[in-house]
Chains A and B, each alone.
Chain A
Amino acid sequence: MTLRALAYGPSPLSLSADTPVREVLRHMLEQRINHVALRGSDGRFAGLVSVQGLLSRIIPASARVDHGLADLAFVGDALPMLIAHFRDVAREPASVLADRGGRVLRSDTPIMEAALMLSRSPSPLPVVDADGFLVGVLSARSMLAFLGAQAEAA
């Protein structure tokens, strides 16, 4: 059985991968959403942008990367630095923020594999069809609801 048996949540807002981050953030704040899907020039899914990913990008690279600083308590508020980073990131195309960790479900992903990926993901995962077009998102809650219904039916 594959993910086709599950009910996906509605696709998140989809924007062009070239959209400036500033615009992406505006949509996120106005619509109170945490994720925006990106599409390439061919309309195919090009990644997911999350508020967490955006915030991470604003943090100094020295703390963001592997073997970087473990904490920034000694930096203080450093508001001017954060604002400067915010302005830098806001100008960039959203594609630089796209989650390229490969955490994407396909509509033919087996249920067990999907459950495993969801258990390791802090947020819902996008679902794409065989052609790479976004068809929805799947959350851990949806998976649990499905499994619960299956358990009762059995």
Chain B
Amino acid sequence: MQAATHHVSEVILGWSPLVVALTVFVATYAVIVTERINRAIVALLGAGVMILTGVLHQNEAFAGIDFNTIGLLTGMMVIVAITQKSGVFQYVAVKSAKLVKADPWGLMVMLTLVTAVFSALLDNVTTVLLVAPVALLITDALRLNPYPYLFAIIFASNIGGTATLIGDPPNIMIGSAVGLTFNQFVFNLAPVALAALAMTLIPFWWFWGRKLTASLELRAQVMAFDERAAITDVKLLKQSLAVTALTIAGFIFAHALGLEPATVAMTGAALLLLRTIGQSAEHQSEQVHKSFAEVEWVTIFFFVGLFVVVAGVEKAGALKIAADALVGFTGGELALTAYVILWASAIISAVVDNIPFVATMIPVIQNLAPVVGTENLNTLWWSLALGACLGGNGSLVGASANLVVAGFAERAGHPIRFLPFMLAAFPLMLMSIAVSSLYIGWRYL
């Protein structure tokens, strides 16, 4: 049976592999965009069709799956799922609010910074799920409109996630595919992420911050919060912080040690799961089940399917054609190519999921190596990362974290509507891309 499969070198019915692959690719992405069917289902179906129609052999499909990305995502999800039970995120959020004495503008700045830092080290969705409720509680206590704070949290999560290898799925995918290290992401993207964050605070202050007020009485109420009571499990807190620190250290030294990020993340997750040692086998099993249940398997399988779909179009040659078209448009000139990738990535990522977009662009950019020179490819990778990550701020559908905050806000009685959000967010996103353009021009061109 396996031998028969290997002999199927033509696409079904003798159709052109390019046509079949592109049809599956476009259909998959189109259905994903409509959000009528769960995206993991769509991606897996698309992957299945790529194999069943003969575009990909099964071993090629498996080879197309970036297990380093899968392992990194899974490992970090387990670590965060366990760590959040300690209450540390609530502790940090409350502590930071008290550091600024519950001043409304100070609170916005602190929540922005806290969200950005967490997002740089953890996945954005989990970060906003942990910070948004505390933000809502504090604004509730101060009798403030929570909308500006939730808006700031959305922006901070995407900007913060831009700064590191592990902060946002596009960076994980780029780093894994190209071999860029945690340190390289920090050295190259953290500065511009910081600049973008600082620049974004200016309009935040102008439109909201300078008008936000809260009485001393209400601020005293927040100052009376006891952040230490937010820590529900001190032992877990110590274990989680230790493993998180070890994991980040692992990322920093991974390249020197010849390790992939997935190895670091999965080992960290396993270490943290080891905390159940000494308990009964049944209790251990229950804890492990609960921890793994918190992994976003929908996201993981979405990635699996997506990688196979992209492998299909790559094998069919579609992405080489796209790369040639890009070279034709830019003349292969590095600066223009970098700016086109940056701005196009940003605008596209604002309206469609940036993960499929980046998955498609990675082979396209790899195909540009002969034209721009391998030594210059990193410029294009940073452009793609900045555009894809920061572009997510352009609309509510630009990033998963945006939708999560919007969903939470709606349930809490403070809906964030699509159009009003986009009218404010899109120009701010463009501003961050302008900052990124200046940075790329200054540093790499």
Contacts and interface: CB of A to CB of B under 8 A. Distances in A.
A71 to B, nearest CB: 7
Nearest to A68: B133
Contact of A81 (B129, B134, B140, B411): B140
Interface stretch (A14-22, A57-65, A113-121, A133-141): A57-65
Interface string B119-152: 0000000000100011011001101000000000
Interface in B215-230: 217-218, 221, 224-230
B411 A66 contact: yes
A62 B230 contact: no
A89 to B, nearest CB: 12
A153 interface: no
Contacts, number: 67
Contacts of A145: none
A80 interface: yes
A13 interface: no
Q: How large is the interface on B (under 10, 10 to 19, 20 to 34, 35 or more residues)?
A: 20 to 34
Contacts of A74: 87, 90-91, 94, 225-230
Contacts of B328: none
Interface of B is mostly: helix
Interface string B404-421: 000010011110000000
Interface of A: 60-69, 71-76, 78, 80-81, 84
Interface of B: 87, 90-91, 94, 129, 133-134, 136-137, 140-141, 143, 217-218, 221, 224-230, 232, 408, 411-414
Given A69-B90, A80-B221, A61 B227 contact: no
Given A80-B217, A81-B141, A62 B412 contact: yes
Given A60-B140, A74-B94, 9 more contacts: A61-B413, A62-B412, A67-B411, A73-B229, A74-B91, A74-B226, A74-B227, A74-B229, A80-B217
- Counting chain A CB atoms within 10 Å of each CB, the highest count among B137, B229, B411 belongs to B137
A50 B286 CA distance: 36
Contacts of A71: 232
Given A65-B408, A68-B412, A81 B229 contact: no
A63 B133 contact: yes
A119 B133 CA distance: 32
B229 A61 contact: no
